[in-house]
Amino acid sequence: MTHYEVGSVETGRVTLAVDDQGSGRLVLLVHGFPLDRQMWSHQVATIVEQGHRAIAVDLRGYGESTLAPHDGNDGVDMHRYADDLAELLLAMRIDEPVVLAGFSMGGYIAWEFARRHAKRLAALILCDTRAGADSKEAADNRLKMAELVDKWGTRHVADMMIPKLFAPSSQAEQSKVVDAVREVIESTPTAAIAAAQRGMARRQDFSERLEEFALPALLIAGEHDAISPPAEMRNVAERLPNGQFVQISEAGHMAPVENPAAVSSAITQFLAEL
Ligand code: MLT
C-alpha cells in the first residue's frame, strides 16, 4: 500500500492510500459511503489475474486516507473527490486514460470525474449507483446525519444502513461479509461521514445529460438493490449511447461483496471487449 498527497491550499491537502497491483489496462476503483477500498478485494484480484492493473483508493477521510480539518463542517463535494482522483493520477505519473469503476457514492464521483477530467477517462463502470440527485427529503436526511453523527456514533449509523445495504438473504446467510462491512462503517471517522453526507446532499443531477456521454459504460446492479434500483440503472444504460447493463443475482446494494464472482466476471468481460 502506498500513500500520495493531493489537494489544494483552499480545500486542504490530504494523503490518499492506494493499493496498486498488476500491469496493463488500468482500472481505478472507487468505493462507496461509508466504506473503504477493501470492498473491491475480489474484483482487484480478478482484474489482476486477467492481465490488467487495478488501483483501489481510499477516498479522503476513509480507510487509511486522511481528511482535511474543515471537511466535516464544510462538506466535501463530489467534484472535490473527483479532483482528488485526478491529482492522485498526476502524483502517480499516470497519463493514460483509465477505466473508472465507481460504487454508489463512487459512481456520483465518477460522473464528476467524467465532466471535469474527460481526457483522463477511457470508460466507466457504474456499480449500484445513480445518475440523479437527491429528493429534498433524502437530502434533508443526509444533513440530519451530518449534524447528529457525533452524538449518534458510528454504531448507530451501521445499524441504520446495514438493512438497506444487503439483500435479506445475504443478511441471513452471509454474516461474515455483513460483519466485515459493519466493522468498516463503525471505524469510519464521524467527520468523514458528515463530510460525504453534506457533499452528497448537494450533488449535481447528471440524469439529463446521459445522451452526451459517448464512452463505453458498464452498469451493474444487484437484483435486490434498494438504494439504486436495478430498473433505474437499466434505464440509465439504455439512454447512454454506449451503455450496457448487467444484473447481479442474489445481491442487494453491496453486490461486489454479496456476489463478488458475478461482479468480477461482468467487469473482466467488459474490459476484454474494450
Ligand atoms: C453508498 O453506498 O455509497 C451510499 O449508499 C450512497 C448513498 O447514500 O446514496
Query: For 185-239, what is each residue's pLDDT tens digit?
Result: 999 999 999 999 999 999 999 999 999 999 999 999 999 999 999 999 999 999 9
Q: Is the dihedral of CA 94, 32, 225, 136 positive or negative?
A: negative
**CA 189–ligand 1 middle distance (angstroms):** 16
Give the pLDDT score at 212: 94
Choose which residue among 30, 31, 33 to substitute to test ligand 1 binding: the one with the highest number of ligand atoms within 8 A of its C-beta: 33
Q: Which atom of ligand 1 is nearest to the CA of 227?
A: 5
Give the pLDDT score at 180: 98
**CA 104–ligand 1 middle distance (angstroms):** 5
Give the pLDDT score at 136: 97
Give the pLDDT score at 65: 96
For 106, the 3-state DSSP assignment is helix
Q: Which atom of ligand 1 is nearest to the CA of 103?
A: 3
Which residues line ligand 1 at a C-beta cut-off of 6 Å? 32-33, 104-105, 200, 227
**CA 220–ligand 1 middle distance (angstroms):** 15
Give the pLDDT score at 8: 75
Give the pLDDT score at 132: 97
Give the pLDDT score at 15: 95
Give the pLDDT score at 109: 98
Nearest to 127 by CA among 197, 216, 217, 25: 217
Calpha distance 70→50 (Å, rounded): 41
Sites in the chain below the pLDDT cut of 70: none
Choose which residue among 160, 161, 200 to substitute to test ligand 1 binding: the one with the highest number of ligand atoms within 8 A of its C-beta: 200
Give the pLDDT score at 12: 79
**CA 24–ligand 1 middle distance (angstroms):** 30
What is the per-residue pLDDT across 29-38, written as a single tens digit (0 to 9) for each? Answer: 999 999 999 9
Choose which residue among 30, 58, 202, 227 to substitute to test ligand 1 binding: the one with the highest number of ligand atoms within 8 A of its C-beta: 227
Give the pLDDT score at 196: 98
Contacts 24+ apart (CB under 8 A), 94-97: 94/26, 96/26, 96/122, 97/121, 97/122
**CA 227–ligand 1 middle distance (angstroms):** 7
pTM over 0.75: yes
For cell 459493519, the residue is: 182
**CA 236–ligand 1 middle distance (angstroms):** 17
Report H helices in the chain.
41-49, 71-74, 78-91, 105-116, 136-152, 154-165, 168-173, 175-186, 190-201, 230-239, 255-258, 260-273
Q: Which atom of ligand 1 is nearest to the CA of 228?
A: 9
**CA 214–ligand 1 middle distance (angstroms):** 25
Nearest to 49 by CA among 69, 72, 23, 70: 23
